[in-house]
């Protein structure tokens, strides 16, 4: 009888957790960026401070748009094929960079083996209760992420660094050289995302491979 009662309790906990989590196939998120540490290069800080990043997810497709006063960059990723395309605009130059699954893995290899350790701290962001976790990379880099378990994207590959996170990151830090940039969600929309968001431009961009793009300064 005790074993049966324990089994019922465990089943009820599993059902409660599943019902609390809302798995979603489509959403739109807007992150606001702020530079939290200084840099010897003020132009670099200006490029990120006040920037916004908009993330669109629709099934296996994702699109991440970053816009700042100095440049813009859009990444469209297909988790089904593993390939990606980057659209970059700097100083009037427009580049379209195609990435194979191998290129994508190489670009994000620093996030392989990333671990997340929960803390007891919580806070509410954009109306969602978030848990504070410490992320640790293999190279020793440590940063903080606040995530909610209330909504979980079915497409876990939309952001390589958060593939193993059990939830949706609503605030996190990113290190770019000497800068530490904090991204905080300002809005979340669960309405359907237009399929046209993942269309590629047919004109206006100079196309190059990922290997070629690594040789440029853009």
54 vs 71, more confident: 54
Phi and psi, residue 72, nearest 5°: -140, 150
Lowest mean pLDDT among 27-36, 116-125, 127-136: 27-36
HEC readout, the chain = CHHHHHHHHHHHHHHHHHHHCEEECEEEEEEEEEECCCCCCHHHHHHHCCCEEEEEEECCEEEEEEECCCEEEEEEEECCCCCEEEEEEECCEEEEEEECHHHHHHHCHHHCCCEEEEEEEEEEECCEEEEEEEEECCCCCEEEEEEECCEEECCCCCCHHHCCCCCEEEEEEEEECCEEEEEEEEEEECCCCCHHHHCCCCCCCEEEEHHHHCCCCC
- Average pLDDT across the chain, whole number: 87
Give the confidence band of 43 by pLDDT, cuts at 50, 70, 90. low
- The pTM (predicted TM-score) of the whole model is 0.84
Residue 150 has, within 13 A of its CA and on its CB side, a CA count of 13
The pLDDT assigned to 190 comes to: 96
Q: Is the pLDDT of residue 68 over 90?
A: no
Say if residues 46 and 34 touch (Cβ distance below 8 Å): no
Give the confidence band of 217 by pLDDT, cuts at 50, 70, 90. low
The pLDDT assigned to 75 comes to: 97
How does pLDDT run across 107-125, given as a tens digit for each residue? 999 999 999 999 999 999 9
How does pLDDT run across 160-214, given as a tens digit for each residue? 999 999 999 999 998 777 778 899 999 999 999 999 999 999 999 999 999 988 8
**Pick from 93, 40, 42, 87: which is nearest to 67 by CA?**
87
Residue 20 burial (C-beta neighbours within 10 Å; 0-12, 13-18, 19+): exposed
Q: Is the pLDDT of residue 89 over 80?
A: yes
- The sign of the dihedral angle between the CA atoms of 195, 64, 153, 200 is positive
Q: Is the pLDDT of residue 45 over 70?
A: no
């Amino acid at each position: 009888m005790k074993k049966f009662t324990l089994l019922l309790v465990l089943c009820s906990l599993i059902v409660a957790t599943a019902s609390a989590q809302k798995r979603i196939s489509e959403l739109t998120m807007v992150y606001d960026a702020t530079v939290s540490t200084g840099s010897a290069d003020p132009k670099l800080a200006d490029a990120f401070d006040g920037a916004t990043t908009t993330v669109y997810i629709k099934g296996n497709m994702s699109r991440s748009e970053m816009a700042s006063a100095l440049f813009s960059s859009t990444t469209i990723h297909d988790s089904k094929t593993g390939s990606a395309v980057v659209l970059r605009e700097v100083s009037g130059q427009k580049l379209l960079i195609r990435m194979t699954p191998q290129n994508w893995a190489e670009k994000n290899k620093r996030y392989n083996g990333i671990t997340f350790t929960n803390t007891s701290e919580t806070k509410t962001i954009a109306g969602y209760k978030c848990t504070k976790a410490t992320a640790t990379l293999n190279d020793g880099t440590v940063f903080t992420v606040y995530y909610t378990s209330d909504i979980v994207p079915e497409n876990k590959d939309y952001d390589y660094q958060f593939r193993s996170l059990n939830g949706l990151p609503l605030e996190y830090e990113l290190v770019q050289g000497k800068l530490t940039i904090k991204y905080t969600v300002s809005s979340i929309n669960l309405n359907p995302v237009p399929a046209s968001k993942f269309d590629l431009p047919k004109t206006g961009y100079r196309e190059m491979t990922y290997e070629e793009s690594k040789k440029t300064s853009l």
